[in-house]
Each structure stands twice: as C-alpha cells, then as structure tokens.
C-alpha cells in the first residue's frame, strides 16, 4: 500500500522532486533545523496554553490530549511556573507495517514568568479530559505609594 500526504509534519508542503543530490541534502538539512527549532521535533506535543488574569487569580489552561495527571508535573519556583510532561504512545508491533505515523511523542516543558510574591502552596492544578488547569491566587497588591513628609531634627 502506498500512501501520500499533502503536508509533511510541521505543516510544510513536500519538496519538489529534484535529481540533484545536493538539493536533496539541503532540503534534509533544512528539515532537521526546522524540527530542532520547533520543539525538538515534537510539533504538536508542545501544549497550547491560555493565561487569564482576574482580580483574584491567574489561571493557566493547557491542552494535553491523551495525557493523564501522572504524566504531568507542575512547579512554581522563583516566580516561574513550569509545566513538564511526557507524551507516550504504547504500541505492539506484531507483524505490523506502519504506513503513516503522525502522532507525536516525547517530553516537553513550558515556562511562564509570574508576578513576584506568588505562593507555591496556594497553587491548585487539576486535569480533566486532557485539559490541565492551574489556578494561582494573585499576591496582595502593595499599598499605594504615599508622600512622606521630611522634617528637621530639633
């Protein structure tokens, strides 16, 4: 069975056929550099995220389809929120011939700098149907600056 796709992984159109070996080498090098600079070849394994701020909280929502809470680690250290995970695909290969493999696997890490004063103990993370939600209460705002009168020492 011969299958053909219109788009290659990473959303690039397939290269035009060229008998020049240097052109083929150049195209392969370009593909390797593209893969290395777009999430180490993970493509869609890097989660898409939303960051929403309200008066009370900062909420980060990340799409992690096919992942479970045991595959994800969330940390907050030095005002940096880090979401790490590993996307795995378990397969049995008993005489199988794979024609197309587009599902991505591998590890990822996304980091976001948070405002100073975030309390790691107050952070709550939940996972539901492949969507990770991290809710962080905002730190109390500093008091409004006020002018302090300077007086002469008697």
DSSP letter assigned to residue 69: G
Phi, psi dihedrals of residue 22, rounded to the nearest 5°: -70, -35
For 31-43, write each residue's pLDDT tens digit: 777 666 554 444 4
Rounded to whole angstroms, how far apart are CA atoms 85 and 69? 9
Give residues with Cβ within 8 angstroms of 38, minimum separation 6: 10
Q: Is the pTM of this model over 0.75?
A: no
pLDDT of residue 134: 95
For 35-76, write each residue's pLDDT tens digit: 665 544 444 457 889 999 998 999 999 998 888 899 899 999
- Which domains are seen in the chain, by residue range? 1-38 (no CATH), 44-137 (2.60.40.790)
């Amino acid at each position: 069975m011969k299958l053909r796709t219109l788009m290659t992984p990473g959303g690039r159109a397939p290269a035009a056929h060229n008998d020049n070996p240097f052109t083929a080498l150049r195209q392969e090098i370009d593909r390797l550099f593209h893969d290395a600079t777009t999430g180490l070849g993970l493509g869609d394994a890097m989660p898409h995220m939303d960051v929403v701020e309200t008066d009370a909280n900062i909420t980060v929502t990340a799409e992690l389809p096919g992942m479970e809470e045991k595959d994800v680690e969330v940390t907050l250290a030095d005002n940096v929120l880090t979401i790490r995970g590993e996307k795995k695909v378990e397969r049995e290969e008993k005489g199988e011939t794979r024609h197309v493999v587009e599902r991505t696997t591998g590890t990822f890490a996304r980091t976001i700098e948070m405002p100073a004063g975030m309390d790691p103990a107050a952070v709550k993370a939940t996972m539901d149907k492949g969507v990770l939600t991290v809710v962080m209460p905002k730190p109390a705002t500093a008091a409004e600056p006020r002018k302090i009168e300077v007086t002469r020492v008697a």
